[in-house]
Amino acid sequence: MKQLPTCLALSADRAWIQRLKGYLDSIAALRPVDSVARLDALLERMKSAVLLVDLRAEETRKHLAEILKTWPDTAVLAFGNPMAEERHRAE
């Protein structure tokens, strides 16, 4: 049996992680990451990866540019609208 490629998901939202696992189950092994510090350690070992990023988390938004600069071989796909929550809070 062929081993599935690993895909990292940076988010603390368990519901979003569960949905991703459902979508990716047959094509990738999803590895949830809940902090940027832990992500750095994983990327150091993996060298290149596919990274799914939840933009709703403030920590992620703060460090996204740094992640892109530090790990140029990582394909980053960003999900969510960081302004949506601010708009929602304003209402």
CA distance 57 to 53: 9
pLDDT bucket at 85, cuts 50 / 70 / 90: low
Q: Which residue has the higher pLDDT, 27 or 47?
A: 27
16 within some domain: yes
1 within some domain: no
18 within some domain: yes
Question: Residue 20: which of 42, 44, 50, 45 has the closest Cα?
Answer: 50
21 within some domain: yes
46 within some domain: yes
Split into its structural domains, the chain has a count of: 1
Helices (H) and strands (E) in the chain, counts: 4, 4
49 within some domain: yes
pLDDT bucket at 1, cuts 50 / 70 / 90: low
> DSSP of 50-61, one letter per residue?
EEEEETTSHHHH
With a cut of 60, say whether residue 90 has pLDDT above it: no
Handedness of CA 63, 69, 73, 79 (dihedral sign): positive
Q: Which residue has the higher pLDDT, 55 or 8?
A: 8
Q: What range defines the domain where residue 81 resides?
A: 6-90
63 within some domain: yes
pLDDT value of position 56: 85
